[in-house]
Structure formats: structure tokens, C-alpha cells
């Protein structure tokens, strides 16, 4: 039993690692190439002065330009300082980490197209709506009046396709090497669970029969800072062992949407009321998405 379990775990580790490496590098390259054509300055021009459809546009731009939080937050400040509607900038901030193409590609590869479409639709709609709510209740006054220096500079780098392609390849490789430890940790944990953790235990703790599993997963995800690259291979195994898809979605949104490093950075530009609102918003998105998944995939 022990030798068989170890063999299964090792097989899982090597197969899933290869799949994730190929997928991550491919998607990262496409994302980097897209960002060659849609830099932060372009986002600022598109959103500045927009009303009405600004929240939809902000969420859409956040989805297709998945900057990390260290870039997304300064971009949001730049948008507000340039005159973009606060609600549109907020929708951009909420959508960017949750609708990352890497997240969507991992969802598609391991959880199927139905789960991917449902996740994308739910998080996009909530990013649009909650960004508008932030503006409606006056949270714009909770942004500290600061300006970000040393950000994106529209320099004179070559803009021919070959140069853009090379920069995208280099950027994708750097991003991959940065995330590789998290990916390997996730696959290793997933392999251990696959080989040694009883399915009955997982189903009892995080299965559809536990009504508190979704909010608890959302609460755990926020301070735990679970990178999606780490969580997807773990979640894939937990689903096989009996965890509900809705619980996994709540855990992913909590970890991806409001990590401790991101909240710390937000505290430097947001007043306390808006920081609290941000964390509560991500928690709300995680819980609502989890329960909607519960209904759709019951």
C-alpha cells in the first residue's frame, strides 16, 4: 500500500509538473506579448474621462492586462490622478488579479470549460458591479492624494514585431522562473494528497455536505496568500478526493484577490476604511462565487 501510494504520488508529480510548465510558459508568453501592445499608458488613455461604460471597460482591461499587484496598484493611482472615474479604476483593480489569463488557462486545462466560463462571468460581473458600488458610496474620498513615480515610461525601445517577440519571450521566462518554486510546491503538495490523504476525510471537511466550507475557505485564502499556480494542482487533487468545486473557487479567489503583500501595499495609498472595504469586497466575491458555483454545479 505504501509503495503503491508513493508510486502514484511520484507519477502525479512528474506528469502534472510537465503539463504546468508547458502551459504556464505558453500563456505567459502570450500575455507578455499582449502587454507589449497594451501598456499602462494605453490603459490610462482609454479610461480617462470615461463615464457610464467605464466600469465594464475597467474590468475588461483588468482581465486582459494581468499585471501583478505591485504594478496594478500604482496603475490605479495613476488612473485616478489622470482623471479616470474612481469606479472604473476600482473595477480594474478588482478584475486584474482575479481574471488573470494564467488563472483562466489553468481552470480550462484542469477544471473544464464550464467551470472556466462560470468563473470568468461571475468574477467579471462582480468586479463591474462592486467597482460601481465603491464609487456610489463615496469611497473615492478614501484614496490618499499621492503620485507614483518611477513607473512605466514610454521609452524608445524598438517596436517592431521581432523586438516585441523577443521581449515577450524574455519576460515570460523571467515570470516563469519567479513562479517555479510556487508551482513545484503546489504540485508536491498535490502529489502527497493524491497518494496519501484519504478521500473520505477531504469530503467530510470540504465537501458539499459542509455548509460552512465556502466562507471558511474564503477566510483562509486571504491571509494564506495561496498563489493560483500553487493552488490549482492542489485543488485538482482535492476535487478528486471529494472537495466541492465551490469551496475550491472561494479559496482561489480569496488567495488571488487579497494577498497580504497586496493589502500592505494598498494601505500605503488607501485610508483604513477603503482597505477594509477592499478585503470585505474580495471576501464577498469569494463567498458569492462559491455559492453560485454550488447552485450551477450541484
Would you say residue 84 lies in a domain? yes
Query: Between 282 and 159, where is the model more confident?
Result: 282
Closest by Cα among 113, 116, 133, 139 to 289 = 116
Residue 51 predicted with pLDDT over 70: no
Query: Between 241 and 51, where is the model more confident?
Result: 241
Q: What is the Cα 69 distance to its own chain's centre?
A: 10
For range 21-49, the mean pLDDT: 73
Phi, psi of 141 (to 5 degrees): -70, -10
Domain that includes residue 92, residue range: 2-144+159-296
For range 135-163, the mean pLDDT: 69
Give the burial string for 169-180 (b: 16+ CB within 10 Å, else e).
Answer: eebbeebbeebe
% residues pLDDT > 90 (the chain): 7
- The rounded distance, in Å, linking the Cα atoms of 244 and 224 is 20
Query: What DSSP assignment string belongs to 168-185?
Result: HHHHHHHHHHHHHHHHHH
Would you say residue 270 lies in a domain? yes
Would you say residue 254 lies in a domain? yes
Would you say residue 283 lies in a domain? yes
Predicted TM-score (pTM) of this structure: 0.71
Handedness of CA 121, 123, 128, 133 (dihedral sign): positive
Poorest-pLDDT segment among 94-103, 104-113, 154-163? 154-163
pLDDT bracket for residue 1 (50, 70, 90): very low
Q: Mind listing the pLDDT tens digit for each residue in 235-244?
A: 777 788 787 8
Would you say residue 253 lies in a domain? yes
For range 104-112, the mean pLDDT: 81
Phi, psi of 25 (to 5 degrees): -65, -40
Would you say residue 30 lies in a domain? yes
Number of domains in the chain: 1
Distances (CA, A) of 62 to 178, 209, 287: 22, 35, 21
Q: Mind listing the pLDDT tens digit for each residue in 211-225?
A: 788 888 888 777 665
Q: Mind listing the pLDDT tens digit for each residue in 243-257?
A: 788 888 888 888 777
Would you say residue 153 lies in a domain? no
Amino acid at each position: 500500500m505504501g509503495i503503491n501510494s508513493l508510486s502514484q504520488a511520484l507519477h502525479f508529480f512528474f506528469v502534472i509538473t510537465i503539463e504546468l510548465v508547458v502551459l504556464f510558459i505558453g500563456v505567459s508568453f502570450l500575455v507578455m506579448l499582449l502587454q507589449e501592445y497594451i501598456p499602462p499608458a494605453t490603459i490610462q488613455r482609454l479610461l480617462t474621462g470615461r463615464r457610464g461604460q467605464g466600469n465594464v471597460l475597467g474590468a475588461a482591461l483588468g482581465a486582459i492586462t494581468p499585471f501583478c499587484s505591485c504594478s496594478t496598484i500604482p496603475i490605479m493611482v495613476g488612473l485616478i490622478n489622470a482623471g479616470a472615474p474612481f469606479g472604473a479604476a476600482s473595477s480594474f483593480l478588482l478584475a486584474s488579479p482575479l481574471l488573470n489569463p494564467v488563472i483562466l488557462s489553468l481552470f480550462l486545462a484542469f477544471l473544464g470549460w464550464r467551470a472556466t466560463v462560470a468563473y470568468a462571468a461571475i468574477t467579471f460581473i462582480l468586479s463591474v458591479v462592486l467597482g460601481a458600488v465603491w464609487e456610489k458610496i463615496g469611497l473615492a474620498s478614501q484614496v490618499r492624494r499621492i503620485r507614483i513615480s518611477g513607473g512605466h515610461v514610454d521609452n524608445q525601445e524598438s517596436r517592431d514585431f521581432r523586438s516585441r517577440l523577443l521581449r515577450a519571450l524574455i519576460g515570460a521566462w523571467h515570470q516563469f522562473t519567479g513562479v517555479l518554486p510556487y508551482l513545484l510546491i503546489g504540485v508536491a503538495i498535490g502529489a502527497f494528497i493524491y497518494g496519501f490523504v484519504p478521500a473520505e476525510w477531504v469530503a467530510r471537511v470540504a465537501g458539499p455536505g459542509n455548509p460552512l466550507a465556502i466562507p471558511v475557505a474564503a477566510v483562509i485564502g486571504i491571509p494564506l496568500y495561496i498563489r493560483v499556480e500553487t493552488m490549482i494542482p492542489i485543488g485538482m487533487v482535492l476535487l478528486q478526493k471529494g472537495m466541492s468545486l465551490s469551496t475550491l473557487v472561494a479559496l482561489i479567489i480569496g488567495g488571488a484577490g487579497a494577498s497580504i503583500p497586496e493589502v500592505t501595499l494598498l494601505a500605503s495609498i488607501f485610508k483604513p476604511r477603503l482597505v477594509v472595504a477592499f478585503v470585505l469586497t474580495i471576501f464577498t466575491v469569494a463567498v458569492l462565487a462559491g455559492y453560485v458555483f454550488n447552485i450551477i454545479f450541484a
